[in-house]
């Protein structure tokens, strides 16, 4: 069983390392949608449809941010620096978006904007680390 898990892990790592910035951004955005939906549901007790709208629109905005940043700086910045810059930008986007879509105060939106980008920062770091491992 351990050999199977290691084999799958190696295969996934190899496939991710072959993906372009655009492909990596698409994979990232799918994971981001799942994270955003879970955060909106748990933090704001949002309805399924409102959480789903948030989980689709805000990650798409951040997917563009991911693509732009990765495209420009993937080979010039180390993974931790790239992740930190991404996460700060994500925080700004998430705060403004949550405040708008959920009609909550800036401080309430900031709760979501802290938790969700941190989770997505780990997601970004994981994907970029897999990509960079073989590039």
For residue range 80-115, what is the model confidence (pLDDT) as tens digits? Answer: 999 899 889 988 988 989 999 999 998 989 998 889
Q: Quote the longest CA-to-CA distance of the chain.
A: 50
Distances in Å between the Cα of 111 and the Cα atoms of 12, 17, 123, 125 are: 33, 34, 19, 21
Per-residue pLDDT reduced to its tens digit, 34-70: 998 999 999 999 998 999 999 888 888 988 998 999 9
Give domain limits for the chain: 2-133
């Amino acid at each position: 069983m351990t050999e199977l898990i290691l084999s799958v892990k190696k295969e996934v790592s190899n496939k991710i390392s072959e993906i372009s910035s655009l492909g990596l951004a698409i994979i990232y955005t799918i994971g981001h949608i799942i994270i955003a939906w879970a955060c909106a549901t748990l933090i704001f007790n949002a309805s399924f449809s409102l959480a789903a709208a948030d989980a689709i629109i805000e990650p798409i905005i951040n997917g563009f941010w991911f693509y732009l940043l990765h495209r420009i700086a993937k080979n010039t910045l180390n993974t931790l620096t790239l992740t930190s810059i991404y996460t700060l930008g994500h925080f700004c986007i998430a705060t403004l978006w949550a405040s708008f879509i959920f009609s909550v105060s800036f401080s309430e939106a900031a709760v979501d904007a802290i938790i969700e980008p941190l989770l997505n920062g780990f997601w970004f770091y994981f994907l970029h680390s897999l990509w960079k491992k073989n590039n």
